Copies of this chain bind each other. A is one copy, B any other.
């Protein structure tokens, strides 16, 4: 599996989105990329290398794209959108770096993770540095409402990460725990990106809230699908091994619903498999077969669809415009993607 293999043919929806995003916010997004590169450039080579390895590894740039589209829909792509797009992507990069250390993940987007390549120690410290840099850029921007939005989101995200770890250790996760975690972890940050875009674009308060609500629902849908892909995706396209969450002991929605629907013998079997350290390929296959038998993934997909639809409904607070249509398409993409 090489990074090149991930550049394979885009789906028609991806093509359409790429074209629309490029036309609506392309130059500003390119300026964000340049700002990210500038920010990662350090006199300390390890910062530049490790930072670039993760930040330039073909991420979707979902967060800056949402920020920019929301800003444009709200009235203007003010020049400060560039810096703020860079801030949210760097913050996201920092969380990816730390998450991979926490999960001891060997791969990220089809390449060795930062911890696999440079060690956990370097990854922790460079992650901290990127957090600090994002904060410094945010202070330079100097907008209290934007800072409050991001402060609130990072407190929420990190709290949810710790809670997720607690649940993982206890071996119990219910659907309501799961939804609490992804709402506070993934959705709060995506909602923050949309809110910041709306603030920067100059939307009135009710539209700011509408875009934040769109982002929150989109974020929940996004994470549900992300977790489902761990059961069914094409490994080369996903850029990491199937079953990674299972191997790390993470219980996500397809498994949670399977546990609810399975017979008590099957439940015992699942619990005992999950407890075994270093899950074998055979065990992963057995768990995937059970999740397939009880329609764990279609159940999760249906839930994701509900959130995506809810998210789109909040866009009705805006007059029809191409930016609005593109945000709606993004919600479709989030539930339709295969990586």
- Whether, in the assembled complex, A178 has its beta carbon less than 8 Å from a beta carbon of chain B, the answer is no
Stretch at the interface among A18-26, A162-170, A289-297: A162-170
Stretch at the interface among A28-36, A124-132, A322-330: A124-132
- Asked if A124 contacts B151 (CB within 8 A), the reply is no
Stretch at the interface among A3-11, A134-142, A214-222, A305-313: A134-142
- Whether, in the assembled complex, A154 has its beta carbon less than 8 Å from a beta carbon of chain B, the answer is yes
Pick the residue among B47, B142, B151 that contacts A132 (CB under 8 A): B151
- Whether, in the assembled complex, A101 has its beta carbon less than 8 Å from a beta carbon of chain B, the answer is yes
Q: Known contacts being A98-B125, A101-B124, is A136 close to B159, with CB within 8 Å?
A: no
Q: Known contacts being A101-B124, A125-B161, is A166 close to B133, with CB within 8 Å?
A: no
On chain B, the residues within 8 Å of A244 by CB distance are none
- Asked if B166 contacts A128 (CB within 8 A), the reply is no
- Contact string against B for A residues 91-106, beta-carbon threshold 8 Å, 1 for contact and 0 otherwise: 0000100100111000
Pick the residue among B46, B102, B133 that contacts A155 (CB under 8 A): B133
On chain B, the residues within 8 Å of A103 by CB distance are 121
Pick the residue among B102, B133, B136, B162 that contacts A129 (CB under 8 A): B162
Pick the residue among B101, B128, B158, B159 that contacts A161 (CB under 8 A): B128
The complex is assembled from copies of this chain, and their number is 2
A129 CA / B158 CA spacing, docked (Å): 5
- Whether, in the assembled complex, A15 has its beta carbon less than 8 Å from a beta carbon of chain B, the answer is no
On chain B, the residues within 8 Å of A154 by CB distance are 131-132, 135-136
- Asked if B122 contacts A120 (CB within 8 A), the reply is no
- Asked if A166 contacts B45 (CB within 8 A), the reply is yes
- Asked if A122 contacts B152 (CB within 8 A), the reply is no
- Whether, in the assembled complex, A60 has its beta carbon less than 8 Å from a beta carbon of chain B, the answer is no
On chain B, the residues within 8 Å of A135 by CB distance are 135, 151, 154
Pick the residue among B45, B128, B162 that contacts A44 (CB under 8 A): B162
Q: Known contacts being A144-B142, A151-B139, is A162 close to B122, with CB within 8 Å?
A: yes
- Asked if B98 contacts A162 (CB within 8 A), the reply is no
Closest 6 CB pairs of A and B: A129-B158, A136-B151, A132-B154, A102-B121, A139-B151, A139-B147
Please report A residues at the B interface, Cβ cutoff 8 Å. 42, 44-47, 95, 98, 101-103, 120-122, 124-126, 128-129, 131-133, 135-136, 139, 142, 144, 147-148, 151-152, 154-155, 157-159, 161-163, 165-166
Q: Besides the contacts A98-B124, A125-B162, what 4 more A-B pairs have beta carbons closer than 8 Å?
A: A47-B162, A101-B120, A128-B158, A132-B154
Q: List 10 A-B contacts (CB under 8 A).
A: A45-B166, A95-B128, A98-B128, A102-B124, A103-B121, A128-B131, A128-B161, A132-B154, A132-B158, A136-B155
